[in-house]
């Protein structure tokens, strides 16, 4: 028996490039950066003083004001993006459907910023200064719980946590639940609000962040010879995934099919990729096998590419190893060049952008790519968006600890004019 087919019927996003998927996509395809000087705390003592903050977000625009005041920032982002995705999907969970729906929301740092603020406020000496909502604000699974309460979803509800692959794993887990006929619908994605003194200082201590403070919009520069680290960002993205037959029965608009998912571990080093990015090679191959596609069927890759000296080169080497001659023809770009790195939410945001590249035939650019690293011999879509019709796209997410997740989206196959190449790599 073939597994059930999984499709995307709704998407919502809150990013440094815009509050909502439409403004985010408009900014990304026009090459506009969302990186600026940090404004939410005094960063003057830090080596890195720039970040991708979400500006113009008002939680009360997306939820009840009383609830908004109780939630931590990452939870507010999750609730808002989830509301957008459900509205986009025109989906209301009825009592009859409640047990056949699920929520999976990933977060890498959860409520770390709330924990930091509480420690400052109490000085570790005043228990009366600790909010009764403090524990709920910091738990990574509570965003999923709030979404299940808001939408009456009574199936599984949990959080994933796998560093920068977190929300890609959330989408993959959601896909598997639907394929196994455990549920019909999953609201899945990730949310992150890591921009605080401790988190920025911590990533800075790892020497992972860019220090291009004088020119923030040009600080994130994947594949460029002058890259010096990633830019930490915040935000969220949520997608509605459905069984194809369920979506068709209710007349849903279908964006794309989630056709393949791969998940592997490098088992090599806690921060550095395996030589040749061996783990991500296996992950891409696993996703292609799952989608029953040859590498030549992929028309665009949204790279993990964070703008670090080691990671960008290793990822391209892995793509070249997996795609062979097709690597010379398939465009690869990094949307982190405009919005920075949303850590645990990055995979879901980039899944949304990959789906839009598939459906619109517009590839987001890699901005700030003024001088491509000689070790990177692929087409990285420099500076400007490009028209390019796609039948299948891949998006990569790789995290600290050597954790890898790869997703493959296609047009709904029986609605395509030309069948996909279905030989297994």
Phi and psi at residue 87, in whole multiples of 5°?
-65, -40
Contact 346, 167 (CB under 8 A): yes
Rounded CA-CA distance 6/13 in Å is: 20
304 is catalytic: yes
Ranking 153-167, 254-268, 405-419 by mean pLDDT, the lowest is: 405-419
**CATH class name, domain 260-415:** alpha beta
pLDDT tens track for 379-400 = 999 999 999 999 999 999 999 9
pLDDT tens track for 195-205 = 999 999 999 99
Average pLDDT of span 351-365 = 98
User: Was domain 6-249 assigned CATH 3.20.20.70?
Assistant: no
* Structural domain boundaries in the chain: 6-249, 260-415
| pLDDT at residue 415 greater than cutoff 60 | no
Give the helix ranges, DSSP H, for 89-196: 112-122, 134-138, 142-151, 166-179
CA angle 343, 329, 421 (to 5 degrees): 90
**Average pLDDT value over all residues in the chain:** 94
Rounded CA-CA distance 191/103 in Å is: 13
164 is catalytic: yes
275 pLDDT band, cuts 50/70/90, is confident
pLDDT for position 50: 98
The active-site residue out of 164, 283, 352, 390 is: 164
pLDDT tens track for 207-243 = 999 999 999 999 999 999 999 999 999 999 999 999 9
Helix (H) or strand (E) segment spanning residue 85: helix 73-88
| pLDDT at residue 40 greater than cutoff 80 | yes
CB crowding 181-199: b at 16 or more within 10 Å, else e:
eebbbbbbbbbbbbbbbeb
pLDDT tens track for 66-76 = 999 999 999 99
**Token couple for 93:** 């969970």
Which long-range contacts (C-beta less than 8 Å, at least 24 apart) are formed by 114-117? 114/72, 114/73, 114/138, 116/196, 116/197, 116/198, 116/199, 117/196
269 is catalytic: no
Using alpha carbons, select from 23, 24, 1 the residue that is nearest to residue 340: 24
Helix (H) or strand (E) segment spanning residue 103: strand 101-106
The active-site residue out of 151, 341, 380, 390 is: 341
pLDDT tens track for 303-314 = 999 999 999 999
pLDDT for position 243: 98
Q: State whether residue 204 is helix, strand or coil.
A: helix
Contact 408, 288 (CB under 8 A): yes
**What's the first-to-final CA gap in the chain, in angstroms?**
22
Tell the residue number behind the tokens 């790279």, with chain if given: 303
User: DSSP per residue over 57-84, as a string?
Assistant: --GGGTS-HHHHHHS-HHHHHHHHHHHH
Total-model pTM: 0.95
pLDDT for position 169: 98
The active-site residue out of 304, 352, 380, 390 is: 304
Q: What is the largest CA-CA distance in the chain?
A: 67
Helix, strand, coil content of the chain in percent (nearest 5): 40, 20, 40
């Amino acid at each position: 028996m073939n597994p059930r087919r999984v499709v995307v019927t709704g998407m919502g996003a809150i990013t440094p490039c815009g509050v909502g998927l439409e403004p985010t996509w408009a900014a990304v395809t026009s090459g506009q950066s969302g990186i600026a000087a940090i404004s939410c705390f005094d960063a003057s003592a830090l080596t890195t003083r720039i970040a991708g903050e979400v500006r113009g977000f008002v939680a009360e625009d997306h939820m009840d004001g009383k609830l908004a005041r109780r939630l931590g920032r990452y939870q507010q982002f999750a609730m808002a993006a989830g509301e957008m995705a459900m509205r986009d999907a025109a989906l209301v969970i009825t009592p009859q459907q409640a047990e056949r729906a699920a929520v999976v929301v990933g977060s890498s740092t959860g409520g770390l910023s709330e924990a930091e603020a509480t420690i400052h406020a109490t000085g570790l000496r005043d228990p009366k200064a600790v909010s009764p909502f403090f524990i709920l604000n910091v738990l990574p699974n509570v965003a999923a719980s709030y979404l299940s309460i808001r939408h009456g979803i009574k199936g599984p509800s949990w959080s994933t946590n796998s560093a920068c692959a977190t929300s890609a794993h959330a989408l993959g887990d959601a896909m598997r639940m639907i394929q196994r006929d455990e549920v019909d619908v999953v609201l899945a994605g990730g949310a992150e609000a890591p921009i605080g003194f401790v988190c920025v200082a911590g990533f800075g201590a790892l020497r992972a962040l860019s220090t291009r403070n004088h020119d923030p919009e040009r600080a994130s520069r994947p594949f460029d010879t002058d890259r010096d680290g990633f830019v930490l960002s915040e935000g969220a993205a949520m997608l509605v995934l459905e069984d194809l037959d369920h979506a068709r029965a209710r007349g849903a608009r279908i964006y794309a099919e989630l056709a393949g998912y791969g998940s592997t571990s490098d088992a090599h080093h806690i921060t550095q990729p395996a030589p040749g990015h061996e783990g991500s090679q296996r992950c891409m191959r696993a996703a292609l096998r799952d989608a029953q596609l040859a590498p030549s069927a992929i028309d665009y890759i949204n790279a993990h590419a964070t703008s670090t000296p080691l990671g960008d080169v290793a990822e391209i080497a892995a793509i070249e190893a997996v795609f062979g001659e097709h690597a010379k023809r398939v465009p690869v770009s990094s949307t982190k060049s405009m919005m920075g790195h949303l850590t645990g939410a990055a995979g879901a945001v980039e899944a949304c952008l990959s789906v839009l590249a598939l459906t619109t035939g517009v590839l987001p650019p890699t901005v700030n790519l003024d001088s491509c690293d000689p070790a990177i011999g692929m087409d990285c879509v420099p500076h400007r968006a490009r028209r390019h019709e796609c039948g299948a796209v891949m998006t990569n997410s790789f995290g600290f600890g050597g954790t890898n997740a790869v997703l493959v989206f296609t047009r709904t196959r029986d609605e395509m004019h030309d069948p996909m190449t279905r030989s297994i790599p």
